[in-house]
Amino acid sequence: MKKAKSEEPISVEEMRPEYDFSNMKGGVRGKYYKAYREGHKVVIRNEDGDDTVQYFKLEEGAVMLEPDVRKYFPTSDVVNKALRSLIEIIPSKRSAFVHRK
């Protein structure tokens, strides 16, 4: 049985020292952003010492939203509804051009 997720964030006092990056110097925000979007692998060290490698790549048609946009469009349904409403106001000549790309 899965443990219920706590809704409250972990306080700094509860956080393990190895997960506290607040005092890190020289970190670069988004350093691996482009590589992550292109695909990445995760190596999992098993208890027996062997490694399991899992590859991840965005599925065809998947779109990553920036955090500020995600606040307003939190689900695929909301995004699709908003985009469909924009498609309706595109002039017919322009929509034919967009579909040819």
Tens-level pLDDT at each residue, the chain (101 residues)? 555 665 677 776 777 877 777 777 777 777 887 777 788 888 999 999 999 999 888 788 888 888 899 999 999 999 999 999 999 998 876 555 555 55
* pLDDT, position 37: 76
Query: Residue 52: what pLDDT?
Result: 94
The dihedrals phi and psi of 96, each to the nearest 5 degrees, come to -65, -40
Strand intervals (E) in 17-79 = 40-45, 51-56
Burial 53-85 (b: 16+ CB within 10 A, else e): eeeeeeeeeeeeeeeeeeeeeeeeeebeeeeee
Domain ranges of the chain: 32-100
Read off the pTM.
Answer: 0.40
- pLDDT for the residue 5: 61
